[in-house]
Amino acid sequence: MSEPVISVRNLQVEFVTRRATLRAIDGVSFDIAKGEVLGVVGESGAGKSVTGAAIIGLIEPPGRISGGEILLNGRRIDNLPPDEMRKVRGRKVAMIFQDPLTSLNPLFRVGEQLIETIRTHLPMNERQARDRAIELLTEVGIPAPEKRIDGYPHEFSGGMRQRVVIALALCAEPDFIVADEPTTALDVSVQAQIISLIKKLGRERGMAVMLVTHDMGVIAETADRVAVMYAGRVAEIGPVRDVVQRPMHPYAKGLMGAIPTLEASAERLVQIPGSMPRLSSIPQGCAFNPRCAHAFARCFIEQPAPLPVEGRRVACHLYEADMAAKTVESVR
């Protein structure tokens, strides 16, 4: 893999309450290279969106980054003062939110919002910024952009609004984009168009993309690698085809087994018993142990470290035991 655009190292995010300090993200690590799409999946509450928000500096009090490092092109950004981080956000890192209506001001024309963002980050006058905004609207597939640039958000369909939000994120030509559930509120046919657009723009512009979603179909279609998150930790990370077709972590196996297929042999879908633990009651050891059919004594005591297994990393004691057995066998 080429030099990473984003490197996340042992990231920890906490939320301080009157009763306790709750750890939402616990030791997450991954890299995303130039032009690569990393898909991040997991149940609601797994920590996907919080991880993305932490990377671009949008964790609000009582939340805080309590440990680890975030590097953008080799420069640490998690410890920047708020004013410095604001300069980085938008110019070097950007976010595509789930609901375009929360990203667009309904009182201003689309063009005004694009032009303001462009001029904030790039040395352009009003005319140049308007031309650039029209180019961006063309690039994201808005028809008749010369006319639509003067429209208000409510005059666009849901899919077209999301395209405008993508254009807004691209205004300053960032190196890294977090796409947080960018297709949830859209029709299936429009979802495919938006996903195809994000993938195309990432490749053409050489951006690193973190795609947060709960939809494995979207991940399989778009991502190069996938990180499966559970209770604020990465359970498994690796090439998307390997993880989808041959998952290793018991939780990843459950997720992939719950996806409907067209194969006649698949009579019943896999069901994962139980539910994601609350932040206030994450169990000791492996957070998945109450729901895991393969849990043994060590799983209830010690948190598993990510292990390199067949070109991916898996946080599971089962594979550490297998590796130890293989090592003993080879010595014999």
Q: What is the mean pLDDT of residues 148-164?
A: 93
pLDDT confidence of residue 331: 41
Tell me: the pLDDT tens digits for 103-145? 899 999 999 999 999 999 899 999 999 999 999 999 999 999 9
* Span 234-277, pLDDT tens digits: 999 999 999 999 999 999 998 888 776 656 555 677 778 889 99
Cis peptide before 239 (omega within 30 of 0): no
d(CA 188, CA 33): 29
Q: Which parts of 183-288 are beta strand (E)?
A: 208-212, 225-230, 233-239
pLDDT range class, residue 161, cuts 50, 70, 90: very high
The whole-angstrom separation of Cα 26 and Cα 277 is: 14
Location of each CATH 3.40.50.300 domain in the chain: 4-92+172-260+269-331
**Residues in CB range of 104: below 8 A, 6 or more apart:** 110, 113, 153, 161, 164, 165, 168
The whole-angstrom separation of Cα 305 and Cα 286 is: 10
- Note the pLDDT tens digit of each residue in 214-224: 888 888 888 99
The third-level CATH classification (topology) of the domain covering 4-92+172-260+269-331 is Rossmann fold (3.40.50)
- The pLDDT confidence band at residue 328, using thresholds 50, 70 and 90, is very low
Predicted model pTM: 0.90
Three-class SS state of 313: strand
- Neighbouring residues of 196: CB distance < 8 A, sequence distance ≥ 6: none
Helix or strand or coil: residue 142?
Answer: coil
pLDDT of residue 256: 85
Tell the burial category of 275 from Cβ atoms under 10 Å away from its Cβ (0-12, 13-18, 19+).
Answer: exposed
Cα–Cα distance for residue pair 273/312, rounded to 1 Å: 26
In this predicted structure, what is the pLDDT of residue 190? 84
The better pLDDT of the pair 225, 172 is held by 225
Amino acid at 132: R
Sheet holding 21-33, edge to edge: 21-33, 4-16, 63-72, 75-76
